[in-house]
Chains A and B, each alone.
Chain A
Amino acid sequence: MTCADARELLTDVAGGELDGARADEVREHAASCDACGRELGELEATVGLMRRAGTEPLPEGFALSLHQALVAAGPPRRSWLDSVRAAIALRPVTYAAAAAAMAAMLATGGTMLIVHRAHAPAQVAAYQVPASKLALVKIDFVAEKAIDDVAFEITLPDGLRFVSGGEELAERTFRFEGKLAAGSNPIPIAVKGPRAGRYKVIAHAIGPAIDVTHEVVLEVTT
């Protein structure tokens, strides 16, 4: 083993992340090389010190001060996913609230409004949105009469992410249960696509009295 090979692995050996035969080779080299031996010793001392640093005791009054700050901050912000879930579950009472939340997002995000009507036969609608923008996709299930017991499922392809509270979410599928009112039932979702391309958003509404699938194509442009 050369010094250059050993130097690449010294920190892994010192931290215990590398063990077995490869680590033994590094240690053998360090034992016969003053420079690498010293480097390994210093790295082991450094890692050892950090791991023994322990936790700093909380300053006096920390808990009380934090408590006051939390109370003053008010309750957590609701995510848009929760808002949609609540709007669907409580429709039509909170319909106006959901619409207001959507309008706020439009006002702040430079977003694009996309409407896809569910009463149309299965068709693909395509829209363009720049990669730098948050796209507000509004999927509208239009029902002739009120329908209870509907399971909704919205799935994003690789390359698109749900956005909530300014953060991109790791999950690709969003499921929730609710009901459809007679007339328009818009479901707003905020998504972002960092790379250019065409992406298909699929939305299902499934229940004893309904089985509808809709697709919206988003073309993300550079």
Chain B
Amino acid sequence: MPVMQPPKPMPPPMPAHELAGLVERAREGDVAAFEKLIGKYQAKVYTFAFAFTGSPDVAQDLAQEALVKVYKSLGSFRFQSAFSTWLYSIVKNTYLDAVKSRAGRERALEEPLTEREVADLHEAATAEERLLAKESRHALLRALRQVPVAYRTVVALADVQGLGYEEIAGALNVPVGTVKSRLKRGRDALKDALFRQRVQEET
């Protein structure tokens, strides 16, 4: 049985006064201040976009579109939730809008994993390495795309981004109970996507 890996540690939050100062400057149009504000989230937002699109090029466009929306919307950040929660709520909306408007392209990209990719992932699941190799990560994120979008969002936020129930509930504006049930269904669906092939071979 594979050994459970602990969740990735989250970087320490930015001190409140530093956050407030950067937000204030960014609101006045200071792009450098905004870039510092989102510095530690850029790669996470891009990975989140990759999990949604499965394509590096589309993910880059989508992540940039989302971050520009975060910048333009800074006036509505009221410091009443964590900045990360507020940021993810905008990023999530951008991605969901893209999924709707790019539904045809989305479906075209939904290719099942090859037998080789599935075998590699099964092997990776029991490997000792802390982080997955690039190929396995890409295959895993492609598998995630076979999960319905509402569940995929929660799985990506919980298990890839490392957010807690409360943060996800805040970002998605849904009750914590809904987060829990979507996480369960999402993990079940992803598990099926990863292990279905093996089950089919055995039956």
Residue positions of A touching B, CB distance < 8 A: 11-12, 14-17, 39-59, 62-63, 65-67, 69-71, 73-79, 82, 164-165, 167, 169-171
Contacts and interface: CB of A to CB of B under 8 A. Distances in A.
B2 interface: yes
Contacts of B124: 49, 52
Contacts of A48: 2-5, 125
B27 A76 contact: yes
B71 A56 contact: no
Query: Which label, helix, strand, loop or mixed, suits the secondary structure of the A interface?
Result: helix
A66 B191 CA distance: 35
Interface stretch (B13-21, B94-102, B103-111, B180-188): B180-188
B2 A15 contact: no
B130 interface: yes
Nearest to B44: A55
Contacts of B31: 67, 70-71
B76 interface: yes
A12 B180 CA distance: 9
Interface of B: 1-8, 26-29, 31, 34-35, 42-44, 46-47, 50, 56, 59-60, 63-64, 67-68, 71-76, 78, 80-81, 121-122, 124-126, 129-132, 136-137, 140-141, 144, 155, 158-160, 162, 165, 180, 183-184, 187-188, 190-191, 194-195
Given A14-B187, A44-B2, A70-B71, A49 B47 contact: no
B28 A75 contact: yes
A61 to B, nearest CB: 9
A166 to B, nearest CB: 8
Contacts of B191: 39, 42-43, 45-46
Nearest to A43: B191
B80 A171 contact: yes
Contacts of A57: 43
A52 B75 CA distance: 35
A16 B29 contact: no
Contact of A42 (B64, B132, B165, B195): B195
Given A11-B188, A70-B71, A58 B43 contact: yes
Given A42-B191, A82-B75, A54 B132 contact: yes
Contacts of A165: 73, 75-76
Contacts of B60: 59, 62, 65
A42 B194 CA distance: 9
Contacts of B132: 49, 52-54
A58 B46 contact: yes
Nearest to A170: B80
Contacts of B81: 170
Given A47-B187, A58-B43, A77-B75, A52 B29 contact: no
A215 to B, nearest CB: 24
A76 B78 contact: no
B131 A76 contact: no
